[in-house]
């Protein structure tokens, strides 16, 4: 089961008690998921979803708000290899009434584009409207892969109104148009804010667990990469130092060097894998890391002079 399906199943179990909220949620589901038909000059309507819980919730909301006659068909999807749940409403007087009550049709039986402000004036209704929009046409990616949330619609004004409605709750969405209008979120905090707002608390806890685990893994990887890079630098520097000391030994002998330089050079040959700080501790008397570094620089200058024939 996908993460998006888990979220929808959780949200479908939430039933608003207030009639105004029931109207708002059902209106959003139908706006996102509904299709009009005209038969003999009268409206028919159907919704299609792959989620059985969403289909059941839509039926329950209809039964709470009206006595409309519905037919539920279940068909096997050829492409998705899953069931499609189709709620079909044949032409009937009650259909016009309920669609007008849901602010989908106006009094002249014309389709309303965008969201009617009165429908989402109250915060409780605005929240249930956003919940219905996600149930009807939303998607959320598995957070183990990437952070992505979207609502998809054919209506440009509806997309803008949904974006404004999200911003009302400090959720800053963006819109892009491909074949349809997609309102999307990419930031984990913004997606979490939406899930908590609409009541998907189990999804919030699961999301947070996954996000914490991802962040820990990323931090470990950064530390490992940093340690590896530092180790590579140490190895490269050590090899360069040994190369310089070998050249000096073959060219003029280490015994031509001062006692301090010879001591550091011999210690490096004997202990090639220790750090400069540890190398200084092996000297007698012990040297600081800075002192060892300056002696290594002097050895490098001598080796470069030999390379250049000076």
pLDDT surpasses 80 at 81: no
Domain with CATH 3.10.28.10 in the chain: 3-199
Q: What is the CATH number of domain 3-199?
A: 3.10.28.10
| Cα–Cα distance measured from residue 53 to residue 10, given in angstroms and rounded to the nearest whole number | 9
| Cα–Cα distance measured from residue 186 to residue 121, given in angstroms and rounded to the nearest whole number | 27
Please state the pTM of the whole predicted model.
0.69
More confident call, 13 vs 92: 13
Residue 259 neighbours by CB under 8 Å, 6+ apart = none
Q: What is the pLDDT of residues 251-303, one digit of tens each?
A: 888 888 888 888 888 888 888 878 888 888 888 888 898 988 898 888 888 88
In the chain the first and final C-alpha atoms are separated, in Å, by 75
Query: Long-range contacts of range 67-71, CB-CB < 8 Å, 24 or more positions apart?
Result: 67/94, 68/92, 68/94, 68/95, 68/98, 69/94
Cβ contact 81:70 at 8 Å: no
- pLDDT for 165 equals 94
- Number of residues written out for the chain: 310
Burial (CB count within 10 angstroms: exposed 0-12, middle 13-18, buried 19+), residue 207: buried
| Cα–Cα distance measured from residue 84 to residue 78, given in angstroms and rounded to the nearest whole number | 10
Q: What is the pLDDT of residues 87-101, one digit of tens each?
A: 888 888 888 888 888
Q: Over range 173-186, report the average pLDDT.
A: 90
How many other C-beta atoms lie within 10 A of the C-beta of residue 149? 24
């Amino acid at each position: 089961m996908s993460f998006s399906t888990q979220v929808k199943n959780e949200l479908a179990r939430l039933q608003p008690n207030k009639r105004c909220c029931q109207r708002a949620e059902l209106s959003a589901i139908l706006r996102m998921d509904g299709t009009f038909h005209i038969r003999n000059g009268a409206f028919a309507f159907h919704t299609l979803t792959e989620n059985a819980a969403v289909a059941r919730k839509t039926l329950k909301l209809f039964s709470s708000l009206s006595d409309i006659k519905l037919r539920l068909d279940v068909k096997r999807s050829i492409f998705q290899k899953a069931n499609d749940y189709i709620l079909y409403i044949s032409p009937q007087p009650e259909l016009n009434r309920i669609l007008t009550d849901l602010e989908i049709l106006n009094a002249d039986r014309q389709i309303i584009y965008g969201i009617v402000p009165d429908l989402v004036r109250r915060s409780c209704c605005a929240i249930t409207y956003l919940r219905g929009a996600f149930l009807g046409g939303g998607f959320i990616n598995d957070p183990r892969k990437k952070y992505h949330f979207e609502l998809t619609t054919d209506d440009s004004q509806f997309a803008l109104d949904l974006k404004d409605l999200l911003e009302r709750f400090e959720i800053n969405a963006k819109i892009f148009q491909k074949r349809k209008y997609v309102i999307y979120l990419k930031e984990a905090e913004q997606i979490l804010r939406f899930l908590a707002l609409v009541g998907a608390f189990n999804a919030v806890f699961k999301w947070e667990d996954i996000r914490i685990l991802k962040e820990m893994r990323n931090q470990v990887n950064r530390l490992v990469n940093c340690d590896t890079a530092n180790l590579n630098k140490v190895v490269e520097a050590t090899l360069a130092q040994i190369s310089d000391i070998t050249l000096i030994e073959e060219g003029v002998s280490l015994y031509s060097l001062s006692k301090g330089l010879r001591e550091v050079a011999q210690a490096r040959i004997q202990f090639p894998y220790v750090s400069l700080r540890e190398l200084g501790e092996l000297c007698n008397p012990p040297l600081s890391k800075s002192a060892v570094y300056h002696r290594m620089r002097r050895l490098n200058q001598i080796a470069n002079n030999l390379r250049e024939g000076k």
